[in-house]
Structure formats: C-alpha cells, structure tokens
Amino acid sequence: MQTDVLIVGQGICGTLLSWWLHKEGKSFMVIDDGAENSSSKIAAGIINPVTGRRYVRTWMAEELSGFAQTTYTELGQYLDAVLLYGRNIIDFFPSPQMRNAFIERISENDTFLRAYPDQNRFNEFFHYDFGCGEIGPAYSVSLQILLSLWQKKLAAMQALHEEKFRIEELQVKEDGVQYGNISAQKIVFCEGILATDNPWFSLLPFSAIKGEALVIECEDLPVDHVFKRGIMLAPLPQKNTFWVGSNYQWEFEDGKPSEQFFTATTNALNRWLKKPYKVIEHKAAVRPATVERRPFVGFHPVFQNVGILNGMGTKGTSLAPFFAHQLAQHIVYNYPLAPEADVKRFSRMLSGRYE
C-alpha cells in the first residue's frame, strides 16, 4: 500500500501529528504497539504556565497554551468528547519562603499568578498552614481518553497497525521509505523515550526522566481546580478519582513503579488530605526529555525522508499540539520549523557518521 506519511508511535505526538495531517487531507499510516507504560498514558495532562520554585514562566507559555486550548477543543468536538478542562492550579505554599516567592512574582506583574481571595475555601479538604495562591489559566487534558478515541478513529480509517515496528525491516530510499508492503514518502518517528535506540536519532541529546503517579479514589474533593503542594492532585474524568504525582528521577534501574515513591507519596497525602482516600493504581513511565529542554522536530539532515517528533519532556500536553502542527505544515507546505525545535540544529552530530 501507498501512503504519504508513516508514523511510528501513537502517544500524544503521533496522535496530534496524524490529526493535523488528517486535517490537511494527507494520507498516513500509524504503527503503535499499544504499550501500557508510555509517557502519554501515565501523564496527568496538565498545562501549567509556570515552573519551578521561583514560578518562572515556561518557554512560549502564552502561545503554546492558547494553541493547545484550541486544538484539544476542536479535536474533542471531532471525537464527540470533552478533552480539555479549564482548571487553574491552587498552590498551597509549603513554607513562608514559597509564599514570599509567589508574592514577589505577583509584584513583578506576572499575569499567570494571583492571590486566591477565599483563603479558607479549602479548609474542609486540605491541611495548609501558609495559605494558597492561584496559577492560571491552566488546563487538564484527558490524554487517555484522547489516545483511546483517536486509536478507534485510526482503526476505522484503516490507518493503524497495532504491532511493534521493527526498525531493521525499514528500507530508506532516495524518494521515500519501504516497510513491509507499506511505501511512504516520509516516515516520522514518534516513539517517545524508545527513540534512544533509533539508529537515525539516538545521538540526539535525550535525557530520560522517570516519573511515577498514583490514582486515588476520594469522595467530595472539589474538581474545579488542580491542587498542588509539592505534588499535584488533579481530577480525572471518572467520578471521585484523582491523579497524584509526580517525581523526577534521572537515575533509575527500571521504568517500573517503586515502593519508595508509593511510601513518600502516601505519606505526603496523609499529611495534606483531610478526607479518607484509597489508592487504586500506581503507574510509572519514562519521559522523553532533552538536555536543553527543547523538543526534537523535523527531518534528518542526511536522510531527508526520515523525521522525528519527540523530546516533549515534562510538557508534552502543551508542546505537542503546536509542534505537531508545525511539522505537518512543514511536510505539506514546506513551511519552516522553529529553529529552537528543528532537529537540524544537531546537523553536525547527526550527519557525522555518514560523512
């Protein structure tokens, strides 16, 4: 069979790239092995415009957040599902120093941060001694629902192979690629952290960051916000269930849930929550992050039909809509890619072994 673009991986990157190609009327085939521990299936799907202990604005925060909001709303309408929830983050300050850092950022006119007027509103649910502030606009996206509904759409469009992609069977030619009986003009790898084994792109400066999360059941907690006190607590679409996490591990033995995280997180919840809760799941995945915290988007400098959309790190929910769109526009109209994201910034590194 003949197709325009072969896409390997249906995490948030492969999903959104195929969505934008679909909108452009391009043909594509997605190959995904359905692994349960992919980053997109474990993530909370939170779009948070600030980061770190000093509440610094994330890269391109305004542009990415607006673009993501439009994309998930439109895609939700297409899939007949609510994917995006406007949920500002209530940040319970763990110390007077953190409260001061927050107030300092407000005094610098950061429009993403504001004092929360009703300081006692959450007394019934949480212990908090140093007050709270509000971060927004922020969103949570139901990534699991999106992935599963898009997978069904792809299957209905006969644009999905549910199997492991075997890289050794790929033939890269001058005018395209051949994989089994699939001939495509281009291939784009959206493999998440498994790209570190990809012969074309493994030299890119990936940084693997493991993260874990619990899913808890807890009655009566408000669902209009995401809550934060060191860890995040975010409402999930199923009634009375919440996502709780995460941590950032640069060194780890395997990608599995750990006893250590479970103990630390349940201890933190016991100190924070006033309501009884039950842990119903414990999950872990490895985030495909990059050393310089910018994504990898575009085509190999030597093999011009072999591309990548990856390196979303801790921010896949906000980065992937924008950069999947940019890559689709590049494929269809040859529009340029943002230089900070274009994988061509590593041309020397990637072409070295072929010179």
Q: Which residues bind ligand FAD (CB under 6 A)?
A: 8-14, 31-33, 35, 38-40, 42-46, 164-165, 190-192, 194, 211-213, 245-246, 285, 287-288, 310, 312-318
The span from the CA of 83 to the CA of 40, in Å, is 14
Neighbours of 129 (CB within 10 A): 9
Instruction: Choose between 130 and 262: whose C-beta lies nearer to ligand FAD.
Output: 262
Q: Which helix (H) or strand (E) holds 189?
A: strand 182-189
Q: How far is the CB of 256 from ligand FAD (least distance, A)?
A: 12
Question: How many other CB atoms sit within 10 Å of the CB of residue 7?
Answer: 30
CB of 31 to ligand FAD, least distance (A): 5
Q: How far is the CB of 167 from ligand FAD (least distance, A)?
A: 7
Considering the complex, state which of residue 305 and residue 310 has its C-beta at the smaller distance from ligand FAD: 310
Q: Are strands 176-179 and 160-162 parallel, antiparallel or unpaired?
A: unpaired
Minimum distance between the CB of residue 147 and ligand FAD, rounded to whole angstroms? 8
Residue with smaller CB distance to ligand FAD, 62 or 219? 62
Based on CB atoms, which residue is closest to ligand FAD, 12 or 149?
Answer: 12
Closer by beta carbon to ligand FAD, 33 or else 103: 33
Residue where the block lists tokens 């009375």: 240
- Contact at 8 Å (CB) between 210 and 255? yes
Side chain identity at residue 246, one-letter code: S
Nearest distance in Å: CB 68, ligand FAD: 9
Q: Are 141 and 65 in contact (CB under 8 A)?
A: no
What is the enclosing helix (H) or strand (E) of 39?
A: helix 39-42
- CA–CA dist 72, 279 (Å, integer): 29
